Structure 1
Amino acid sequence: MKAGTVTASIAAAVMVTAGPGGCTADASVGQKAADSAETLVATLTQASDEAAKAGSAEVELSVTMPDTGGKPVQVNGTYSWGDGLAMEAEMPAEDLRMEDLVADGTITYRLVQGVCYYGIDPAPSGPFAGRTRLKVEASAVLGEQGAAGMNAGDNDPTAGLKSLKWAGNVTEVGREDVNGKSSVHYRATVPADKLGGTKAMFGAVGGSGATELVSDLWVDDKGMPSRLNQTFGTVTVDIDFLSFGVAEDIAIPPAADTADITEAVKEGRSAQD
């Protein structure tokens, strides 16, 4: 298990929660001029507000950044943000270089109160003997400032949408089908200086030096986001919102079941820098 792949996995889980939105789309897609930038921004802001009220969402997302070597890291699961930010998801063990820690090729992933827990098969001996979770504090990868941005009070999987109130160059691309939902595709850019603590978090995982966030958002006929693609420098996040309001209790695993590898990840990260 290498520090770089742990970096990628943690970022994949937290980018949606604290991050702004955007993805560079294919230039061949025809755009039509916005009737009114203010009207389109208001539409996007309304979609953000309605999604945030849901309190939870089932999502499929992938993150690509320098630490992943250009390969997207997949995270599929449920976010809950009503009583504090939490996530329960599954990730391919191969993406994390944890194939030797699980028999079925899948790592269960839990994010609670800024700490990441990776489910493993209990080992009969060695440093992880009897433990079923590896624990990593997000600050080990994102740094203190980046982790603080993730833990800010208004962060949830829809928080990236909130940045769109600062959007410029807003266009309506057209209507498209997203996971069986007829949705309107919008595109916008947000200056980096409007992103607050989120800018630091993106910078911690390879997005330093970017001057703007490029956002593509699809809004369904109920006014809810169905897809959000994000690009900030060399970091790209693609999110599909499958459903909202699917709240579940995501608890901190018992301490007796965990092995804390935070310091090892910090040391590995320092060796890379």
Structure 2
Amino acid sequence: MKSRTMTGLVAAVAVVAGTAGCSAVAVTQKAAGESAETVVQALSHVSDEASKAGSAEISATMAGPATGGKAVTMKGLYSWGDGGLAMETTMPAEDAQMTHLVKDGGTVTVRLVNGSYYYGVDPIESGPYAGKSWLKVEASAIVGEKGAAGMAQGQGDPTAGLKGLKYAKDTAWVGVETVNGKNTKHYRASIPAAKMGATADMPKSLGLSGDVVMDVWLDEKGAPARLNQVMGETSISVDFLSFGGTKTVEVPPAADVADMTAILKEQKEGKAA
């Protein structure tokens, strides 16, 4: 059971860490003849405005080596700020490779709070974790110590990487498209992964490198409606369903939690059975 559980956690963590670790890109309307420098300045301004929202409800999909090439989806709320980064999302158990822990093809609840990920599953029936219904993994085991420290400071949210936009090597106007019923303007930019600011360690922890190619769809209010990112063999797509709003993310009761951090570290080091 240990090996199967860890495989699922790796897949589940990959998508939530990947979404948090890469950037969400918003851009202003690009008029004909507008210079790349002007667009980059506008991008930087909009990034600050998006970050001020403090929270965002998103739907995201990630696929790449970290997920075994399978598209893994999640939906929920991220919040950030002085209280640090927190989130509560749901994922299909099949996507998280955790169907053996959730009956009837249900979903897995994923929480990030106080620097740890928690995965809500059906109560484990036997073994050393019998009765436990939450699996815990410390964020540092996934994104490294620097990444975890950044998360504690409220960094690594879906908009944090926007600060890297000032390093965009090129920008391009793609066209006008409809996204989730909204009229949007589609832009594209490329940013060196090493210039992703406080979130740079997160892509590294997932084995990502090279340039981040970003496609962004802006709604009529100038807010990002959709973001597609490609870094090497990894792709991440995020739909921003709304900005703002509050939700308290609770730490599960200690009696219900099985801490899997040490086992996951062993697996990452190639020591797990």
TM over 0.5: yes
Query: What is the 5 A alignment of 1:138-153?
Result: 138-153=139-154
Residue by residue over 1:238-273, the C-alpha shift from the partner in whole angstroms, topping out at 9 and shown as x without a partner, is 100001112111121121110101111111121189
Using CA pairs under 8 Å that are at least 6 residues apart, name the structure with larger relative contact order, 1 or 2: 1
Change (3 A) 1:46 1:178: farther
Q: Partner letter of residue 12 of structure 2?
A: S
Hey, what does 2:50 align to over in structure 1?
Answer: 51
User: Who is 2:66 aligned against?
Assistant: 67
2:70 partner letter: K
Is the contact made by 1:115 and 1:136 (CA closer than 8 Å) also made in structure 2? yes
Aligned residue pair count: 263
CA contact (8 A) 2:80 2:155 kept: no
Residue aligning to 1:157 = 158
Distance 2:271 2:14 in 1: 17
Deviation readout 1:125-161 (Å, 9 max, x if unpaired): 3222222201011222333344344444433221122
Q: CA deviation at 1:197?
A: 4.4
Q: Spell out, residue by residue over 1:10-61, the C-alpha distance to the aligned partner (whole angstroms, 9 max, x if none).
A: 1211223232358xxxxxxxxx976211222233223322221211111000
SS of alignment partner, residue 251 of structure 1 = coil
Map of 1:25 onto structure 2: none
State the one-letter code of the partner of 2:36. Answer: A
Question: Identity of counterpart residues, as a percentage?
Answer: 51
Q: Which residue of 1 aligns with 2:13?
A: 10
Question: What are the residue-to-residue correspondences of 1:96-245 with 2, within 5 Å?
Answer: 96-104=96-104, 105-208=106-209, 210=210, 212-245=211-244
Unaligned residue ranges in structure 1 (runs of 5+): 23-31
For 1:87, the equivalent position in structure 2 comes to 87
Question: Contact 2:21 / 2:157 at 8 angstroms: preserved in 1?
Answer: yes
Larger mean Cα displacement after TM superposition, 146-155 or 134-143 = 146-155
Shift of 1:199: 2.9
AA aligned opposite 1:103 = K
Contact 1:17–1:156, Cα closer than 8 Å, also in 2 = yes
Which stretch shifts more, 3-12 or 180-189? Answer: 3-12
Q: Secondary structure of the residue that 2:207 maps to in structure 1?
A: helix
Aligned amino acid, residue 96 of structure 1: A
User: Using the alignment, how far apart are the partners of 1:147 and 1:65 within structure 2?
Assistant: 22
Unaligned runs of 5+ in 2: 26-30
Q: CA deviation at 1:206?
A: 2.1
Could you tell me how far apart the structure 2 residues matched to 1:73 and 1:5 are?
11
Q: Which amino acid aligns with 1:88?
A: E
1:26 matched residue in structure 2 = none
Contact in 1 for aligned 2:57/2:243 (Cα 8 Å): yes
**Alpha-carbon distance between aligned partners in 2 of 1:77 and 1:34, rounded to the nearest angstrom:** 39
Alpha-carbon contact 1:167-1:190 (below 8 Å) kept: yes
Runs of 4 or more consecutive aligned structure 1 residues displaced over 6 Å after TM superposition: none
* Mapped contact 1:21–1:213 kept (Cα < 8 A): no
Instruction: Give the deviation of 1:198 after TM superposition.
Output: 2.7
SS at structure 2 position matched to 1:95: coil
State the Cα RMSD in Å: 2.4
- The AA in structure 2 aligned to 1:69 is G
Moved more, 113-122 or 97-106: 97-106
CA distance in 2, matches of 1:129, 1:185: 50
Which range moved further: 91-100 or 139-148? 139-148
